[in-house]
Amino acid sequence: MDYVFVVTYGRSGSTLVQGMLNAMPRTLVRGENGLYVQHLFRAWQAADEIRQKRKGAGAKSSSNAFFGINALTRGRFVRSAQRLVVGGMLGSEDAKDFDRLGFKEVEWHHLTAEETEPFFAWLEEVCPDAKYVLNTRDVETVLGSGFWQRRDTDESVRAIERVVEIQDFLRASRPDRVLDTRYEVITGEDKAASDAAMEALATFVLGGCDAALLDALRATLEVGHGPNPFGKSRKDQKPGHESDEQPEA
């Protein structure tokens, strides 16, 4: 199984990218999940910290307070995490129907600077050779959306800047497994540039893009994506654009 994750921030057009990935054959990319894999990673860190302190011959005895801590290994934890993560992405779908799995997420800013490198190392044990789509959009436009306006401006800026730092880290550390996508290019008036961006996305994920797939991606571009794509601001948007409005509760 191959894995692909969309690393971005809110209102970047990531739901459109998600839709395009799901238009590709044998590819299943889920939506946001609160970056729960970060909690799995932190669970391993907590377990390993006590394991490193208390493992040893004494822990093999049933009379020891840390009896069995030696049995907790990174390999066992990773295998268990993989079953959970892959199972969560598949849901009720059958794994034999897909060659690629992943999700898009906008909560990457919760990763601290100190845990960035070990987190992605751990994630790639769970999801080997993962690829990353680094989606971006003009930050001033993003901050003007209803999603970010409902939050403290300084906190919003810091969150987006943190995601940009993570994107930079992935570009530097995994140059052969990242692809940059730009919302304004994909949805822009320059159809040749838009087509080239969609072809690049397909080639990155699948290894190529034929005419039929490009047509499917163009069709995806015409579909509303986002929390409320046909809401009040829809009249000001081009096809494929995410609305700045929040869905009503």
First to last CA, the chain: 37
Yes or no: say if 177 and 132 are a contact pair by the CB < 8 Å rule: yes
CATH number, span 2-236:
3.40.50
pLDDT (tens digit per residue) in 155-179: 999 999 999 999 999 999 999 999 9
Of the listed ranges 98-112, 133-147, 219-233, the one predicted with least confidence: 219-233
State the pTM of this model.
0.89
The amino acid that residue 209 corresponds to is: C
Residue 206's φ and ψ, nearest 5 degrees, are: -105, -20
Percentages (nearest 5) of helix, strand, coil residues in the chain? 55, 10, 35
Going from N- to C-terminal start, the domains of the chain cover 2-236
DSSP state of 106: S
Distance CA 214, CA 94 (A): 26
pLDDT tens-digit map of 14-52: 999 999 999 999 999 999 999 999 999 999 999 999 888
In terms of Cα–Cα distance, which of 73, 69, 41 is closest to 53?
Answer: 69
Confidence of residue 228 (pLDDT cuts 50, 70, 90): low
Q: What does the pLDDT read at residue 200?
A: 98
